[in-house]
Chain A
């Protein structure tokens, strides 16, 4: 069982404000996740000594608040559905992969494939994100305070990626309908990704996203990128892009 230093809350109906502390130096991740799957709305959790373990706080489907004090390994908050997960340190590969809704916030850096295939919700990374940030994103909103690595937003289908720093090579390669906003430099754009005009509606949604991420950047400093839609249909003239 998880080590609970707060009232025992797993099996019985939990009081709305119940708070639990789980120390992963002694308790298995499996028990933590099982407890989170049994969680009730309004509960909150603090996870200590995460030690970069994998699959922390995955598959949460209750409006709970989880704070991971330290560094998380692969797939932290994977397939997140409800509530908020905060990682105070760095997160490994596949942070919040396939997130559906809710919020995941990393105060440090995130490794590659952050928010991969995310369908919804908000992922905030205060530091840098590695390669393939937002790969195949399907509706998630991602706000990165620092830089993102190469091949980010590869085949991005929907959702918005906001980068307050610089973007690596091949940004938005083979992008579909996702929107990318970058404040800094873009090392290179991927196939079928182009710069697009920043209109009032974009400034508005950017302001909203930055505010949601607790950032004060000026939306007017960003550039917008999206699909040229030239690769939407197979065509002999595009053969070098396939």
Chain B
């Protein structure tokens, strides 16, 4: 039960403004989820860089200095992996010029208690408990450039108010999913995924959606196919936004109670829970604005 704001910038000249635009959208959905918040930003210089993998770890304090983390991770990777560790707000980012699986292995070996909340070449994920605008400020969202951004404010329903339970759920490379609503059969789908070997981090119903999409993508589905399949398997109420390295998708369940509004121009696609989150976007007066129809998957690729 939450607020969602998502932005895909088609016009590269807008990339420097990604953070400030997303921040202005986030500001308008705070009331919908005052418990906690999460952000995902794509291709943000300074956070991620092409050719390297970046892991987002929950929390600024991992129990070791950044230098020690760097040394520990580097010792487990090839000599030219160029490991870098930085703290951004309440998030620790670990980068290296290796594949994500290898980096995850090295990081979890170095920091066994760490929670990986984001992974990939293009995305950085940031989450925390508290007022969403403070979380955004703490992470410096306003100044971030990027190609896509996703934000979520959470009013926890059946799971705990924790940073780990915040959205987005990022469970495969560059894949992020946020959810407003509640799945009514997530326990069954979770059991089935577990039987297939999928490992879960939380009791959150949204993680089930994210793991399901990841599992379908791994089996060769396109993003659109994965979400169509999700609609066949997961029951309940949902408005979902899913992002990948170069795509964004929006889908609502066939009853479509939870709000979603989309604004589309040649320069961007924006989605939010409420119109007011879109009202400050550039050129909004000439945007094509619509509410996504129930049971339909909308996708946009950069």
Contacts and interface: CB of A to CB of B under 8 A. Distances in A.
Contact of A149 (B276, B279, B293): B293
A122 B291 CA distance: 24
Contacts of B42: none
A52 B276 contact: yes
A109 B289 contact: yes
A102 interface: no
Interface string A105-132: 0000101100000000000000010110
A111 B239 CA distance: 15
What are the 9 A-B residue pairs with the smallest beta carbon separation, nearest first?
A: A52-B276, A130-B291, A52-B275, A90-B275, A52-B279, A71-B279, A71-B275, A150-B294, A73-B276
A128 B289 CA distance: 10
Given A74-B274, A150-B256, A169-B294, 5 more contacts: A51-B279, A53-B276, A111-B259, A111-B261, A131-B256
5 contacts: A52-B275, A73-B275, A109-B289, A111-B261, A150-B294
Nearest to B276: A52
Contacts, number: 45
A64 interface: no
B31 to A, nearest CB: 8
Interface string B118-155: 00000000000000000000000000000000000000
Interface residues of B, number: 15
A92 interface: yes
B243 interface: no
Contacts of A168: 293
B28 interface: yes
A77 interface: no
Contacts of B277: 52
Contacts of B290: 128
Nearest to A52: B276
B176 to A, nearest CB: 25
Interface in B237-281: 255-256, 259, 261, 274-277, 279
Interface of B: 28, 255-256, 259, 261, 274-277, 279, 289-291, 293-294
Nearest to B256: A131
Report the interface size class on chain A: 20 to 34
The residue in B274, B277, B289, B290 that gathers the most chain A C-beta atoms within 10 A of its C-beta is B274
A168 B279 CA distance: 26
Nearest to B31: A54
Nearest to A113: B257
Contacts of A53: 276
A164 B173 CA distance: 47
Interface in A67-100: 70-71, 73-74, 90, 92-93
A90 B284 CA distance: 12
Interface string A129-153: 0110000000000000000011100
A112 B259 contact: yes
A92 B274 CA distance: 7
Contacts of A150: 256, 293-294
A42 B289 CA distance: 35
Contact of A111 (B255, B275, B279, B293): B275
Contacts of A111: 259, 261, 275, 291
A38 B200 CA distance: 56
